[in-house]
Structure 1
Amino acid sequence: MVDDDGYFGEPVAASYDDSSVEMFAPDVVGPAVEVLAELAGDGRALELGVGTGRIALPLSQRGVEVHGIDMSRAMVARLREKPGGAAMGLTIGDFATTKVAGTFSVAYLVFNTIMNLTSQDAQVDCFRNAAGHLAPGGCFVVEVMVPDLRRLPPGQNTVPFHVGDNRVGFDTYDLATQAMSSHHVKVEGGRGSFRSIPFRYVWPSELDLMARLAEMRLRARWEDWTGTPFSGESRSHVSVWERTGA
């Protein structure tokens, strides 16, 4: 059963920062904040799926006014407890459709969050929602994995992403629908737990078409936040689309 916070309720929020500690490292956060601050300029930034503020808080510390949208009250509560979090504009809601007041120079989604929208329609709605919040010439930025389907031999639908002494993680794929799920098995103190989160993987070219439907055009695409050129061997990408519509 999924609670009102979706798949990121209190049990996940309580340990989220610790379980993703490598994503909070300065050499990971710093380049992302640098890119987003440059795109924001003197304007405002909108984070879709703001979570516990991994990017939003350091971006606001750079002097950028940041507003965040997230469905999880538990994750947002953790953000509010952090220095600077209580003063940040935050809205509870589905980031594919939730509207907030004002316009923004940049809207962004990081760390595969676009895949939390588990249908193509929802992902298209997200692009339209982002574009609707942007000032003319504003940018929408998405950081997301490239589907790693080359690791799937014929007849197999499962790829492990972590195998440790007390934790196993693996992804399952449905190639017909682009549905996937990440499964987490953990054993602590002789007791086991299991958690599964659904996603929908999406290709760069598919995202470009979603952007066109939302009257945006591709401005830049890199393998990572440091500007490494994107290639056929890249396992992730950071893409920037610019609003062209009135």
Structure 2
Amino acid sequence: MTLDRPAFHPGYAAEFAEDYDRWFGKRRSSGATVSALAALAGEGPVLELGIGTGRIALPLRERGIDVHGIDGSEAMVRRLREKPGGASVPVTVGDFAEVSVTGTYSLVFLAGGTFFELPDQASQARCFARVAARLAPAGVFVFDSHLPEALAAATGPQVVMEGEDHLVLCYRQLDPSVQRYRSHYVIHADGRTRHMHVDFRYAGCGELDLMAERAGLRIKERWGDWSGAPFSQESTYHVSVYERA
């Protein structure tokens, strides 16, 4: 499963918001993600950081879950608003590291590798702390992320999406010295080829757990994928569920 997606910087979002779901919204993986989150949602409300076009939020709403969101791209939020039911989703436009909302939530989550779009350790730790302040007493914080070892082992381009009239390839460049990787996307569609790249700051399980601990959270469960498979030496990514310490 390819977790990383284009970060919602204004320039990228303005150009690719209309095609994001077609190119990067995998229905099969989305279904497993939605089912797992629905099981964790409790009585709600729930908050998605990086809600984007509503790939996960809208199916959760269809299950009767009260979903709120934060996103840094007005273009992506406009696309969400155009979808059935999207106009009624409460969304705050801003930096999701700040978690600039009120109230408490039974579940706060990110999907698709979004957590690593935060550019440095300070912003990632701040996100943990701000989420902890918004969790209900029995609430959980959940997100998926690549394993650094799997990132280092991956070589060659990956096909993100293909069809008769389009092809999307992803190639990653890893820099372990600064715990960063750059995803290059080559997109051929409508008779032309475009290229964009997005930077991510990755962290291993130990560092994530330490940031959680400093925010007053602790690991509750760690899965090998969104279907709840065991986390093992064969896993290429993980889904981590944090609760109040």
- TM-score bucket (shorter structure): 0.7 to 0.9
1:173/1:181 contact within 8 Å kept: yes
Shift of 1:189: 6.5
Shift of 1:193: 2.1
Mind listing any 5+ residue stretches in structure 2 that lack a counterpart?
A: 1-7
> Compared with structure 1, are the counterparts of its residues 15 and 234 closer, same or farther at alpha carbon in structure 2 (3 Å cutoff)?
same
Alignment of 1:14-93 (within 5 A): 14-21=18-25, 23=26, 25=27, 27-93=28-94
Q: Which position in structure 2 is the counterpart of 1:12?
A: 16
Q: What is the CA deviation profile of residues 178-233 of structure 1, one whole-angstrom value per residue up to 9, with x for unaligned ones?
A: 11111122445664322111111221221111110110011101111211100122
Alignment size in residue pairs = 233
Q: What is the CA deviation profile of residues 1-29 of structure 1, one whole-angstrom value per residue up to 9, with x for unaligned ones?
A: xxx944642111111011024x2x2x422
Shift of 1:143: 1.2
SS at match of 2:86: coil
What amino acid maps onto 2:239 in structure 1?
V
Mind listing any 5+ residue stretches in structure 1 that lack a counterpart?
A: 153-157
> Compared with structure 1, are the counterparts of its residues 85 and 172 closer, same or farther at alpha carbon in structure 2 (3 Å cutoff)?
same
SS at match of 2:30: helix
1:8/1:74 contact within 8 Å kept: no
2:108/2:140 contact within 8 Å kept: yes
2:152/2:174 contact within 8 Å kept: no
> Compared with structure 1, are the counterparts of its residues 231 and 71 closer, same or farther at alpha carbon in structure 2 (3 Å cutoff)?
same
Alignment of 1:58-207 (within 5 A): 58-147=59-148, 148-151=150-153, 159-162=156-159, 167-188=168-189, 191-207=192-208
**What is the TM-score when the length of structure 2 is the normalising length?**
0.87
SS at match of 2:157: strand
1:223/1:230 contact within 8 Å kept: yes
Distance 1:235 1:186 in 2: 25
Identity rate, percent: 45
**What is the TM-score when the length of structure 1 is the normalising length?**
0.87
